[in-house]
Structure 1
Amino acid sequence: MNKEVVVIGGGIIGLCSAYYLHKEGHQVTVIDKSDITDGASFVNAGYITPSHIIPLAAPGMMAKGFKWMFNSSSPFYIKPQFNTDFFKWAWYFHKASNQKKVERAIPVIKDINLFSRDLFASIKASGDLGDFHFDRKGLLMLFKTDAAGEKEMRVAKKAGELGLEVDVLNHVQLKTFEPNCTINAKGAIHYGCDAHMTPTEFMPKMVSYLKNSGVLIKTNEEVTGVDLVNGKIQQVLTNKGSYRADEVVLAAGSWSGQFSKRLDIKLPLQAGKGYRINLERPTGITIPAILMEAKVAVTPMKGFTRFAGTMEFSGINSIVRKERVEAIAHAATDYYPNIEVNPVEMDKAQSGMRPVSPDGLPYIGKSNYIENLIFATGHAMMGWSLGPATGKLVSEIASDRKTSLPIDPFTPFRTF
């Protein structure tokens, strides 16, 4: 049965949900309070990362957060926040950061990332969006110290056991991989399973395709509430009108927790801010890399090279902290000595808010309390990577069909 579906949020998750819901034959409306030209879906590293099998909530991460709490230029920065929601989330994060839970999450993360990578490839092959940048050159994990290298070797061993493509490169082999730029690193792990894209190209093309296909996209319109009758949403209310809904998809990113609260649903979620610097000039970089010690991502995109990174928990805000931008710029030169980020490029840096669940797994699934509410949020640093997979799963849930992957690990009402 075709349904009227309202998607709250026009980021990569919301748009991919709309894409697959439309393919299922549903009438879809996407509502976003912005004009869908900025935010996390535009400033991310563009990675599709089956290699990222370790969730953010890993052993030792909370200790690092407290260690770096008073260093606002650190890769993982927690600004002290004295509110109940944050303390609960931090406690759940601590509980999730144990080896047993990480081991349980690893195959789940791998499978949904591989599924999503294949869906990205299918979208490209379909020609729906025309041509867009989608490259399978893998990902380099660059390390300068033996400690970082040994740590990543353990991840690489696990990835290899799971069937992912992994190679270990010394400094000489690294030069062969990237002959046109100088890299100051001891070696690297190359994950051939990964891919990368240019988000600022893909997002407008997806919006255009959806509009041309009959999907109603309402921008600069804010959802203010819902008309809830007997445990079912009848209408979604905005500052400009109302929309009838058979199903409602909550894909509002870092704002999903606030919206859930209005519905008396406690969704543990915190906004993790990331930053990006674009270099719109030749750099010689052709393969995406993560600068391990600095926790900075590097992506050769269409027409520019992007340096992105950091995880900052300081509430929902768009403040660009100069010291964090400078840390990314310093890391760029530290690993690529021939590249220096100039002041103009730093001044153009932007930030975006990622929705982070306590255990690093997204929330995908139906509400236990509201019959026709579907959650699609909490993806942390994997939002871009998991866009199509989440959208596909959402469309299957809304259509009352068997999902392509088991979704029990993603239930919004799991215990931590």
Structure 2
Amino acid sequence: MKKVIVIGGGIIGLCSAYYLQKEGHQVTVIDQSNMDFGASYVNAGYLAPSHIIPLAAPGVMKKGIQWMFNSSSPLFIKPRLSSDFLKWVWAFSKSCSIKNVTRGIPAIKDIAIMGQDLYSEIKKTENFSFQLEKKGLLMICQTQKMLEEEIQVAEIAKKEGLDVKEISFSELKKMQPEVDLNAKGAILYKCDAHTTPRTFMEEMISYLESSGVIIHKNEEIHNFNAKEGKIISISNASRTYIADEFVLATGSWSKKLSKKLGVQLLLEPGKGYRINSERDLGITMPAILAEAKVAITPMHGFTRFAGTMEINGIDHNINNVRVEAIAKATQQYYPNIKLTTEEKNNAACGLRPVSPDGLPYIGKSKKCTNLTIATGHAMMGWSMGTSTGKLVSELISEKRTSLNLEVFHPDRRF
């Protein structure tokens, strides 16, 4: 048995704690927040093996530059004079390649499928009540050009063994008869599932506390005491923590903390927004509005509209232009659905940690032997949350990992 401290109480940190305590380790979770907001709570709730193409893909950097001058665009990268940011941009640009996509596809697929299976296993094993439905995910297209692009992605997914098919507009209407749709057609990924994130997070926190995991909220770690490539203790102004192993799962804040140990993680926060509507809108199928890059999810008791990727540093300010872009896109595809002023005013955001190649960092850096890094999942943190937690536990328990982690290594070069 080892004494393990998990720094970070989001989906990755909690799932790491879950599997570590299952292995018999003594676990403490420390988080700087009250653990009731952020990316783990405002995401679209997808468990999506369909998302096999990494964020860094051919053409994305070019689009990013074009969108840089449009604050309502799906991807908005705000330029700033920061050496870390410029290094990330350079590495992201280099990663927007066929080579990166080819390398990333099987890795993303495997860890996402593993994650989906583990959500089901946790629900059954712990008798959790969180929403978990496998209805699939629609990629709804308004133009022939976008439909053809999505068909190409679907063909790649088929070759990877995923259950996917093209559906016509008439078939799309039959699937959602209660809503008006403005679309050309869609791709249906039958392999995908969806959840209500907050319910899972609350049930997991409750379970961990009842299972002996110690959770410290509203505590920020300021200092690392390390010697000869090994952490001895971590501390803040009021407390010092000592453990055998440490897990860094602080999402967009991981870069700042890893620097204290001489570990250089290229990482940028990618802000995403969500709008909730508690009205009965008739939407029964999870969908992504392909041209607008807006996700719509029928959750437990409400419908969630989520989207945008805003690279602008650590920033929780709500940009109403981007909120309005989500609302406008929704009405373009669903003409009879108009999000209210109140719903838009209650929008929230979360910061997703984005690595330059769109793949997470999972593993131990050579610079610190008792630190396991688990961050950088970009838009796939929810899909990969359970599987990352399981892999972290296997590493610390010195077991053979369920997946080959070489592609996710924290020390990889870009």
Shorter-chain-normalised TM-score: which range?
over 0.9
8 A Cα contact 2:232 2:243, kept in partner: yes
Q: Secondary structure of the equivalent of 2:155?
A: helix
Q: Secondary structure of the equivalent of 1:50?
A: coil
Structure 2's unaligned 5+ residue stretches are none
1:63 aligns with 2:74: no
What is aligned with 2:161?
Answer: 163
8 A Cα contact 1:6 1:236, kept in partner: no
Q: Distance in 2 between matches of 1:32 and 1:38?
A: 12
Q: Distance in 1 between matches of 2:401 and 2:16?
A: 14
What is aligned with 1:86?
Answer: 85
Which letter maps to 1:397?
Answer: L
Moved over 3 A (4+): none
Q: Distance in 2 between matches of 1:117 and 1:157?
A: 22
- Alpha-carbon shift at residue 238 of structure 1 (Å): 2.4
What is aligned with 1:231?
Answer: 229
- Normalising by structure 1, report the TM-score: 0.98
8 A Cα contact 1:51 1:194, kept in partner: yes
Alignment of 1:285-300 (within 5 A): 285-300=283-298
What is aligned with 2:406?
Answer: 408
Q: Distance in 2 between matches of 1:96 and 1:264?
A: 24
What is aligned with 1:33?
Answer: 32
- Alpha-carbon shift at residue 229 of structure 1 (Å): 2.0
Deviation string, structure 1 residues 131-151 (Cα, Å, up to 9, x no partner): 110010010000000110000
What is aligned with 1:384?
Answer: 382
Deviation string, structure 1 residues 374-395 (Cα, Å, up to 9, x no partner): 0000000000000000000000
- Alpha-carbon shift at residue 239 of structure 1 (Å): 3.2
Q: Secondary structure of the equivalent of 2:71?
A: coil
Which letter maps to 1:32?
Answer: D
Which of 343, 363, 366 is matched with 1:365 structurally?
363
- Alpha-carbon shift at residue 87 of structure 1 (Å): 0.6
Which letter maps to 1:63?
Answer: K
Q: Distance in 1 between matches of 2:33 and 2:283?
A: 33
Q: Distance in 1 between matches of 2:286 and 2:230?
A: 45
Deviation string, structure 1 residues 218-250 (Cα, Å, up to 9, x no partner): 000111112212221111212331111111000
Q: Distance in 2 between matches of 1:50 and 1:73?
A: 28
Q: Distance in 2 between matches of 1:67 and 1:135?
A: 37
8 A Cα contact 1:333 1:339, kept in partner: yes
Deviation string, structure 1 residues 96-138 (Cα, Å, up to 9, x no partner): 111122111111111111011100110011125x211001001
Computed over aligned residues only, the root mean square deviation of the Cα atoms, in angstroms, reads 0.8
Q: Distance in 1 between matches of 2:46 and 2:98?
A: 25
Deviation string, structure 1 residues 156-191 (Cα, Å, up to 9, x no partner): 001111110011111100011112211111110000
8 A Cα contact 2:226 2:261, kept in partner: no
Percent pairwise identity? 57
Q: Secondary structure of the equivalent of 2:382?
A: coil
8 A Cα contact 2:56 2:100, kept in partner: no
Deviation string, structure 1 residues 328-386 (Cα, Å, up to 9, x no partner): 00011111111100111000001100000000000000111111000000000000000
Q: Secondary structure of the equivalent of 1:226?
A: strand
- Normalising by structure 2, report the TM-score: 0.99
8 A Cα contact 1:221 1:240, kept in partner: no
1:19 aligns with 2:12: no
Deviation string, structure 1 residues 313-334 (Cα, Å, up to 9, x no partner): 0110101001000000001111
Alignment of 1:16-415 (within 5 A): 16-128=15-127, 130-415=128-413
What is aligned with 1:8?
Answer: 7
Which letter maps to 1:305?
Answer: T
Structure 1's unaligned 5+ residue stretches are none
Q: Distance in 2 between matches of 1:188 and 1:59?
A: 23
Deviation string, structure 1 residues 63-109 (Cα, Å, up to 9, x no partner): 11111112111110011111110110011011111112211111111
8 A Cα contact 1:221 1:239, kept in partner: no
Q: Distance in 2 between matches of 1:254 and 1:286?
A: 32
Which letter maps to 1:251?
Answer: A
Q: Distance in 2 between matches of 1:256 and 1:89?
A: 14
Q: Distance in 2 between matches of 1:182 and 1:124?
A: 34
Q: Distance in 2 between matches of 1:84 and 1:58?
A: 23
